[in-house]
Structure 1
Amino acid sequence: MNFSVSKDYIQKELVATKDKRRSISKIKTLFNLREKNEFTLDDQTWDDLQMDEVFCELDRTYSAEGEAALYTMLRNPIMDEEELKVRGKLINTFKENINLTVDLRRIFYDMIYDKKNRLIDMMESLVPAQKFKYFLYSFLGILPILIVAAVIIFKSPELMMLLMMDILLTIQIHIKEKDNINSIGLTDLRDLINAGKRISQINNNEIEAYNIRINELLKKVKSIDNATYLIKIINSFGGLLEMCSIPFLLEEITYYKVNEELMLKKGMLLELYYLVGELDALISISIYENNNKDNCSTPKFIEEISLKIKDGIHPLLKEPVANSINICRKGIVLTGTNMSGKSTFLRMVSTNILLAQTFNFALAKEYEGCFLNIVSSISPKDDITNGKSYYMAEAESILRIIKASEQEIPVFCPIDEIFRGTNPLERISSSAEILNYINKGRAICIVATHDRELSDMLKENYDFYHFSEEVDNENGLKFDYKLKRGVSKTRNAIRLLEYIGYPKEIVEKSYKRIEGIEGYI
């Protein structure tokens, strides 16, 4: 195989972070086209966990196919241990077999990286071809040959005028159809097919299953392969061949012929796209793991509804503070002031569950737990345009969790500031009943709250942890971001106002007022 890049360059790239401009809206197009299941991360959970940013952190792919496959895999966690182990084994192969990894990466490097993902756009927007055009252009394409033959046979030079008229007509057709033909992703499709061929030539037992299936698909799309090859030849040599092809409408005939084949074999082409992309994505994960091997561990899956994470960290933090948690039978209530680390902790635990169930690794010293369906309510968005208040949006968000907790697969539900959009009396009352109900189901629930009053109402079904901080007149807020047992005893909001320079009168009267309402809620 001929490569445009050296092995040494690819090998050096294995320790580099991929800094590139990504269009998430284009990357997720493949995910939008594929079937979803009951464990697919919904949009709110994806956004709650800041997964666009996590995706970019994990992404070391070269191809648009790899980006799309990596995104799709992250949206669809696996609930079968054997399937997960097979994926994990392949990731380990790519970590250990550098020659295999480099050979594949050279193929992905040579692929056209199209940030706009025109190939998927083409597949998504396919419409039935106009067969009339195909037959008409096929007739017009052969007409010049028939006219020249007639001139020779009948020795009638005057028929050359008919040939000139035919050429003028075909030029007009070519101009009219040019934008339509150039707007599709046939060039990218040709590139994908070539990549599939090159991958299938790699003789390695670990990717044999991929090679067998890729070869099967390539045989089934042979006619598309031939058609795209012809278009590639036509557009070679600086457009010279394109000029020669115009009288015979070769591009137009090929396009309308292949369009029908694309409609018939769309599923096969999308599968080929995903298989090639999946290899690129799995290598990307192997590179990420290798570069973070001191923080990675292999998860252990158990039947009991429980979760244990030792020294877990979040992938987006440059200087993360590791935290541990052991959840069994009871949920967790987190207290603490703003910015103390509650939301980051929720995301750390959730992200590690997702990584464990998609790529068989966790950013922790140890990970042990059951398979979990992740449904979150961390930052429900206000949706005024659809007539929803903040409270209504959050109520619907929590209802997703309640319904998920009633299913067979246990649900992991991180909740941040439940019902913050309503008054304290109703918020605390309804929150306590909802959280107790969720805990009765097949669920592991972690709720972060400022409402310390929930502690007495939930003590039978929940354990209590908190994050704390210090406020002084010299340093302001100081956090250690370490999880501690018990309920937070600090109230530093008023003290922070004092630190940043609020008038003394406001600060003193705030302290007096809070004494008067201390026992109200």
Structure 2
Amino acid sequence: MEVFNLFIYSAIILIVFYLFYSARLKKKRAQKKIYLEKQWGKQKATDYYNFDAIAKYFLRRKSKDEAFHTLSSREIEDLDLHEVFKYINRTRSKIGEQYLYNRLLNIPTKEDRAAFILDQEFFANQEECIEIQSVLERLSHPKIYQLEELINGEQIKKPKYYPIIVLSTLTVLASLILAPKFPILLFLLIPSYLVNLFFHYSNKSNLNIYMGAFGQLFSVYKIAKKLQSFSSVQQLQKDLQFLKTLRNLKLKSRFLDDGQLMNNEFGIAFWVILEQFKILFNYETLIFINLLDDLNKKHKDLDDLFNFIGSIDLHISLQSLKAGEPKTCIPEFHASKAIQTKHVYHPLLETPITNNLSLQAKSLLLTGSNMSGKTTFIRTIALNLVLGQTLNLCFAESFNAPYARLYTAIRISDDILSKTSYFKEEVNQLDHFIKMSRSSSPAIFVLDEIFKGTNTKERIASAYGVLKYINTPKHIVLVSTHDTELTELLANQNYDLYYFSENINQNQLTFDYKIKKGQLENGNAIKILELNNFPSEIIQDAHHQLTEQ
């Protein structure tokens, strides 16, 4: 009777504990949902982004060569794409972050983009999107970044000494089974243990490569199964065969994850005992080798799992982004040499000024005063071209442009480590432009202050030659410059002239940051010196030298 009562009391305690835990978990998730509702349409409240981890999937994925065009580190720096990523990112999982980063830097083929546009239509229900975000939030731990290791990591092959491992394990089993009848066989356990000890710790280095990733597979798989219940997800992807294929892989990976045991003294004691068991029977080594076989066969299924979660997170992220922006549009792309934008703006500006641009069968030569906004404008057009092609979203009222590859030369600097001067760096980049301009595939070249690393006469002559050469009937050039002499040289070379200017009222220099059609007549450099109280002798000499030219 006492044993029965003890059993009853224990059951009651377990039930109470379970109910308490369930109520606490339910309350926590309800609070998370309220938080996500408040965050809808807002930038994520985080200051730290681990771009080394975020970029790994992009840098290592084998399928990136299938993209129409992959942006280089030059475009990433010139267009501040890491800062742009921070701004547009509304994903809730670490997989979503990696997926968004990869999508942002890989301009897809037209077929891939068409499929992406169709998928966006399934996530119009804001309430369900927030419900899905609350599920995706469970994959926000930094360890989730490691899952991509199973997809893109270096494949480890089954060791050549695998038969010896099997034989050694069978020897141990046979010794234990036959020991009651032949006790002398127990002596075989000592050499077998030592041999297995070697195999066990030889395998640890390989296991450590994948341990973090295997440890996350179980959690990611559970979330993928949970996402199946949402109607928008069911419309997005009806074929989830990869979940069935990965079931065994997920279960096996669970047997290798004993990291939780190291969190307390009792766990450590149990871990020590478990470790001896693993050594004696080669339990960990055999499961790991078996997992490697499965892993090598199921790379595509793992990639499908990653893309399944990443695409859902990305589509909902874009819905949240659009909800919080004053003006976004779906771009239109064509095959002709033309750009038409209406009220286009840069998302990173605190108080952005919108502008319009119209180029028909021509390129853009943009002049302007110092600090007037010309460099920001060409960045704005280039950035929206990238976002339009990769995410089907532009920060504008309308955006119409060719579907084109993008090459930039904006933030060029000298390289001290490789002993390369600024001018040599610029020459290298322009040489790349020239090679790309020979392609029949449309391209857009974006340049800021071309050849500013050399003297005026040679700068203008060299710039004229390069800008004329790369401005083919297939390509568009967007170039900003201080050299007004280039306007006269390129006006008849299929370049439209635009400019930015300043206003001076009551000795105050102000800018409207509005682009204007035509040619800039005067600069503002001397006026800026004057407004900053430079000595009058400097100002007079500067004006005198200007009139002498």
TM-score bracket, shorter-length normalisation: 0.7 to 0.9
- Residue in structure 2 matching 1:29, options 32, 42, 56: 56
Q: Secondary structure in 2 aligned to 1:327?
A: strand
Cα contact 1:391–1:419 (8 A) shared by 2: yes
Q: 1:235 to 1:175 in 2, by over 3 A?
A: farther
Contact preservation (8 Å) 1:305, 1:444:
yes
The residue matched to 1:93 in structure 2 has which SS?
coil
Cα offset, 1:445, TM superposition: 1.6
Inter-partner Cα distance in structure 2 for 1:441 and 1:384: 38
Partner residue in 2 for 1:279? 312
- The alpha carbon displacement at 1:225 in A equals 2.3
Give matches, 1:75-474, under 5 Å: 75-80=105-110, 83-94=112-123, 96-111=124-139, 113-114=141-142, 117-121=145-149, 123-132=151-160, 134-154=162-182, 156=183, 159-160=185-186, 162-163=188-189, 178=204, 181-184=207-210, 185-199=213-227, 201-202=228-229, 204=231, 207-208=234-235, 210-212=237-239, 215-232=240-257, 238=267, 240=270, 243-244=273-274, 245-246=277-278, 247-292=280-325, 294-460=326-492, 461-471=494-504
TM-score computed with the length of structure 1 as normaliser: 0.87
Matched residue SS, 2:457: helix
CA shift, 1:349, in A, is: 0.8
Measured at CA, do residues 183 and 86 of structure 1 come closer, stay the same or move farther in structure 2, by a change above 3 Å? closer
Counterpart of 2:59 in structure 1: which amino acid? N
| Kept in 2: contact 1:128–1:260 (CA 8 A) | no
Q: State the distance in 2 between where 1:243 and 1:136 align.
A: 24
| Shift in CA distance, 304/98, structure 1 to aligned 2, threshold 3 Å | same
- C-alpha separation in 2, matches of 1:242 and 1:88: 54
* Aligned with residue 56 of structure 1, among 83, 86, 104: 86
Which secondary structure state, in structure 2, belongs to the residue aligned with residue 295 of structure 1?
A: coil
Distance in structure 2 (CA, Å) of the matches to 1:262 and 1:307: 47
User: Corresponding residue for 2:104?
Assistant: 74
Residue identity in the other structure for 2:50: S
Asked whether 1:42 is paired with 2:69, we answer no
Shift in alpha-carbon separation, 1:23–1:235, aligned structure 2, 3 A: closer
* Contiguous gaps of at least 5 residues in structure 2: 1-24
Q: Report if the CA contact (8 A) 1:405-1:441 is conserved.
A: no
How far did residue 389 of structure 1 move?
Answer: 2.6
Q: Structure 1 residue 195: deviation in Å? A: 3.0
CA RMSD in angstroms comes to 3.1
Relative to structure 2, which stretch is displaced further, 396-405 or 359-368?
A: 396-405
Distance in 2, matches of 1:497 and 1:390, equals 26
Aligned-partner SS, 1:326: strand
Q: Does 2:541 align with 1:509?
A: yes
1:103 offset after TM fit, Å?
A: 4.0
Residue 18 of structure 1 pairs with residue 44 of structure 2: yes
* Equivalent position SS for 2:83: helix
Q: What letter is aligned with 1:44? A: R
Q: Bigger CA drift: 131-140 or 36-45?
A: 131-140
C-alpha distance in 1 between matches for 2:241 and 2:351: 47
Distance in 2, Cα, partners of 1:408 & 1:207: 41
Secondary structure of the 2:479 match is strand
Query: In structure 2, how many angstroms separate the alpha carbons of the residues matched to 1:510 and 1:282?
Result: 56
Paired with 1:320 and 1:73, the residues of 2 have a C-alpha distance of 25
What is the CA–CA distance in structure 2 between the aligned matches of 1:322 and 1:437, rounded to whole Å? 31
Tell me the TM-score normalized by structure 2.
0.83
8 Å Cα contact 1:30/1:120 also seen in 2: yes
Deviation at 1:48, TM superposition (A): 1.1
1:136 and 1:102 map into 2 onto residues whose CA distance is 54
Q: Which amino acid aligns with 2:56?
A: T
CA distance in 2, matches of 1:493, 1:411: 34
Deviations 1:137-180 (A, max 9, x none): 444445544333222233x3x65565467567756765665565
Letter paired with 1:64 = K
1:430, distance to aligned residue in structure 2 (A): 2.1
State the 1:462 CA deviation: 1.5
Contact 2:41 2:322 in 1 (8 A): no
